Amino acid sequence: MIDDAKTNMNGTKVSNDGTDVDPGDKWVTAGERKALEDAIKNVEDTLKKPGVTGSEVKQAFENLDKARKAFDAAKKTGTKKVVPPNDNPKTIPAEVTPNKPATLAAVTKAITTATNDGDIKGSTYAQLKFQSKKQTKKSIKLQWSKVKGAKKYTVYANQCGKKNKYKKVATVKGKTLNVKKVAGKKLKKGTYYKFLLIAENGNKVNAISKTLHVRTAGHKKYANYKSVSVKKAVIKKAKKLKKGKTLKLNAKGVAPKGKKVSVHVKTRYESANKKIATVTKAGKVKGVKKGKTKIYCYTQNGLAKVVTVTVK
């Protein structure tokens, strides 16, 4: 009886309300578990007691039996919300995340059949923070942040232009890649290339990057953005934004001195928590509820200015 009681106890989850326990599992509170644990210990201590009587042993086992029955009666089914994986190859969530992944097959198809240079459905900036800070005449260095659960990262690219389909460049486990060839050809100096990155976990994709547009070095007049600027007065106002009020960020990409940038995509914006504050394509932030979040203002080559928004 003791072994059975221990097996029963150890096979049952402990929770405060069951929201952290899978629907297929049973749970009890810490107090309910302790009652059975104490009854088991009482039997074990009684059996070890010198000069113990038969009636004492019988009483200990009867108490254990009652505790076991009370324990079983107290068991409840877990209520944890399980997000089903997106196994439909034709469907990609509006925002792909580790909790809402897309199938690798669906994402790969969406990228390789894309008919424009825009973003792929499901893409976000904040997760991967995909960007390029350094370029030479013959190479473009890419870097990104690691994504939860991702085992590897695959980069797709081609020369900018609607007719140029994305081609796989490489799959790596790290957070950087120095690209020297795209679609089987060496990179040309002063030329724009488009890039996409996905974070893979088996046959699932945990994140899709925003599209990068990056020029190789060597052009006399044009280069890539070197940073993003937001006026100090705007940053200050963002720290005390009232609920329901709006604020225009007006973030601007900053080009290297003496150079210009061919604009493929205007400065883009993304809120890290839309429940706290939202932001439009034009950079207008709106306070939704009290709290703090980040707004990413990022350029076509992925450089970002992070503005902290505090909603009062």
Which of these, 223, 263, 265, lies nearest to 137 by C-alpha position? Answer: 223
Q: What's this model's pTM, rounded to 2 decimal places?
A: 0.71
- CB of 65 closer than 8 Å to CB of 36: no
* Domain co-membership, 175 together with 96: yes
Reading the block at residue 239, the tokens are 């720290």
- Model confidence over 71-130: pLDDT tens digits? 999 999 999 887 655 545 468 999 999 999 999 999 999 999 998 899 999 999 999 999
* Domain co-membership, 151 together with 274: no
Structural domains counted in the chain: 3
Q: Which of 157, 189, 219 is the last residue of a domain?
A: 219
Q: Is 204 helix (H, G, I), strand (E, B) or coil?
A: strand
Which of these, 205, 198, 232, lies nearest to 89 by C-alpha position? Answer: 205
* Domain co-membership, 185 together with 231: no
- Rounded distance between C-alpha atoms, residue 73 and residue 70, angstroms: 5
* Domain co-membership, 138 together with 96: yes
pLDDT band (50, 70, 90) for residue 4: confident
* Domain co-membership, 215 together with 119: yes
* Domain co-membership, 142 together with 177: yes
- CATH code for position 100: 2.60.40.10
- Give the domain range for residue 34: 2-77
Q: Which of 203, 219, 235 is the last residue of a domain?
A: 219
* Domain co-membership, 137 together with 184: yes
- CATH code for position 293: 2.60.40.1080
* Domain co-membership, 92 together with 198: yes
* Domain co-membership, 67 together with 114: no
Reading the block at residue 282, the tokens are 């034009």
pLDDT of residue 85: 53
* Domain co-membership, 87 together with 123: yes
- Model confidence over 237-271: pLDDT tens digits? 999 999 999 999 999 999 999 999 999 999 999 99
* Domain co-membership, 90 together with 103: yes
- CB of 229 closer than 8 Å to CB of 307: no
Q: Which of 77, 103, 131 is the last residue of a domain?
A: 77
pLDDT of residue 88: 53
pLDDT of residue 257: 95
- Rounded distance between C-alpha atoms, residue 157 and residue 169, angstroms: 6
* Domain co-membership, 142 together with 260: no
